[in-house]
Structure 1
């Protein structure tokens, strides 16, 4: 048994109206990957903020190498060798990759930044994480997956003894996850203690050694990483959870969404499909395949050059979000915090965002009407909150996603586009969202679901559209299809395009 490098004992942290941590214990050994598991709101984020010096516990203590330490700032934690990679990137978009990797500690020569040495160090770090990008590239021009790998490279530059990784695989492709796991194993072999937070239960046995489970702010179990999925889920949610993908057989009706020849030069071309009442159509593909670009164009958030979009028999004008909403189309965007919510506003206000215009008479908003509709939606969705006035930014990720979906329920959208609907949320909240999808389609609504999670696409779709390099390259019946079937379509088209 290796020694414990970092230990937390009886950590307690409260916020107004919320007990975030209630006597949490955690012990990290050198040379291990310790998975931190729990539902959204279980206390994981607060715990890693305490361990990284970003917030201070009300009670309890932290020991490093057996000695009590006081982490007043993130700098204190870094000086002790604790480095944290958060879900929300800590990068400066206007700076280059090399400048971000050396942020706060650039190499100097005669008092000036040694640009050549900084870029050389950046090349070594980028090569280590397998990112093919020039050190002088501005971070603002990178995609989300590359930004994630830049964050990992930045943590490696600090020579951390303890590395905390919060949902590092949420935005990565299968190949990028494999590369990340190779890096994590290398760090573990070098004696680094890694805290790994994930909602992908299949990753735990592959990368973890031990698991600490949090529930309602308490550490409820510490188990081996090869513990069965059903047992882990029961520990997380405090109750047995049924099938992970509870899709029920659809009763298909008439087409509610029809897309024909949709094209935007440089992004996607000649995309045609339909979604019928009562069905879930999944859209799969590699990162950069054009899925998000297509659904944003369908919704009117982005313009397109050619093609038609028809919702419930009404042809939509290009680039007109209001017309799309009037026709009964709703979009749950990939970036829920940046595009789907007003974080500082309350739950009721966010649930009423879409319908506020309809509830306005003579310049006055009928707040009672909006609040009543919001209360019904919150109850239907099981949103865990202190009240309708609680700021959305203080909710867990799963409850934030329920609010984003809920505003379309209030608006009575008949066709719902879900772009990465369960990214970064726990298994319990996922199943609740899947059951909601079943309810909507049972009522005759239609759902178009974009997801990078292939088991999710296969488990919750009736048909699967596969995209690659801006083209719709195939359609599969979900029943009987496999992950290999989906990837064969996507990869074959990518290879063929490169060969042209």
Structure 2
């Protein structure tokens, strides 16, 4: 395995995509995508179903190879031709299904396939490392010997994220990290994302929940029909975000805001 890249300084550009295009036969899933990811920031990828979000993440994860365009990592051109290559370079992905083994405990899931000793499992050292990492993340896990099946959705997401951090990545991508979670579990995962950002990593999240996006994202990148359709801040109005995502300036959000503005004007008159 090649030596891992140095830890980038906060704000330094880690990843840069220029003109990335992905075609599946006659279908163009991505067209001329431009994207930059910096150390210590959370970038949210948002868009309607079929906008190209999952395809873009799979390109960055090495699952799909782009048809055209270039990718730079730490200032150098790279080819992400396999998931192993992406992991080796420091790009980790937590997909929505989490890929956890429910019959195994937290320690076993964290180190599955990456045991500390190739010939003999060092259970004590693995348990110590697991506790150390989970404490650094302020994770609410009752015990590292607890089976995954007994954990909540938020705790399972925490274990999946912690597992990716054991590989010492520079970028972590999270696919719908708060999907199907309750209010308390969602808050737990959002707090965890902030702590991962504070460790100096670049974080990419895919989410349909605009409130979650606003809570943690530093930038919001909108994809529409496989193309870039704007970069926004968390302070951007719902009307502008909905318009960028759907391509329609007239929608329920804009109509409601118009009614509220009209009512306010009538009250002050």
TM-score category of the 2 structures, normalised to the smaller one: 0.7 to 0.9
Structure 2: distance between partners of 1:49 and 1:105: 22
1:103 counterpart residue number: 112
Q: 1:114 aligns with which of 115, 122, 129?
A: 122
- Does the 8 Å contact 1:129/1:149 carry over to 2? no
- Does the 8 Å contact 2:46/2:220 carry over to 1? yes
Q: 1:15 to 1:176 in 2, by over 3 A?
A: same
1:20 equivalent to 2:44? Answer: no
Alignment length, in residue pairs? 244
2:94 counterpart residue number: 85
- Does the 8 Å contact 2:91/2:170 carry over to 1? yes
Q: 2:166 aligns with which of 157, 162, 172?
A: 157
Deviation track 1:139-158 (CA, whole Å, cap 9, x = no partner) reads 34444443222212212222
Matches within 5 A, 1:5-404: 5-16=14-25, 18-108=27-117, 111-127=119-135, 128-240=137-249, 242-243=251-252
Structure 2: distance between partners of 1:135 and 1:22: 44
TM-score normalised to structure 1 length: 0.46
Shift of 1:193: 1.0
Structure 2: distance between partners of 1:141 and 1:205: 31
Structure 2: distance between partners of 1:241 and 1:157: 46
Structure 1: distance between partners of 2:139 and 2:248: 41
Structure 1: distance between partners of 2:26 and 2:80: 25
Q: Rg bigger for which structure?
A: 1
Q: How large is the Cα RMSD of the aligned pairs?
A: 2.2
Shift of 1:85: 1.1
Deviation track 1:348-404 (CA, whole Å, cap 9, x = no partner) reads xxxxxxxxxxxxxxxxxxxxxxxxxxxxxxxxxxxxxxxxxxxxxxxxxxxxxxxxx
Structure 2: distance between partners of 1:80 and 1:104: 18
Equivalent residue of 1:125, what SS?
helix
**Which stretches in structure 1 are left out of the alignment for 5+ residues?**
247-500
Structure 2: distance between partners of 1:97 and 1:170: 21
Structure 2: distance between partners of 1:231 and 1:163: 28
Equivalent residue of 1:112, what SS?
coil
Equivalent residue of 1:72, what SS?
coil
Deviation track 1:118-139 (CA, whole Å, cap 9, x = no partner) reads 1222223344352324323333
Shift of 1:241: 5.3
Deviation track 1:153-201 (CA, whole Å, cap 9, x = no partner) reads 2122222211111111113332233232333223323321111221111
TM-score normalised to structure 2 length: 0.83
Deviation track 1:397-425 (CA, whole Å, cap 9, x = no partner) reads xxxxxxxxxxxxxxxxxxxxxxxxxxxxx
Deviation track 1:266-325 (CA, whole Å, cap 9, x = no partner) reads xxxxxxxxxxxxxxxxxxxxxxxxxxxxxxxxxxxxxxxxxxxxxxxxxxxxxxxxxxxx
Structure 2: distance between partners of 1:143 and 1:32: 27
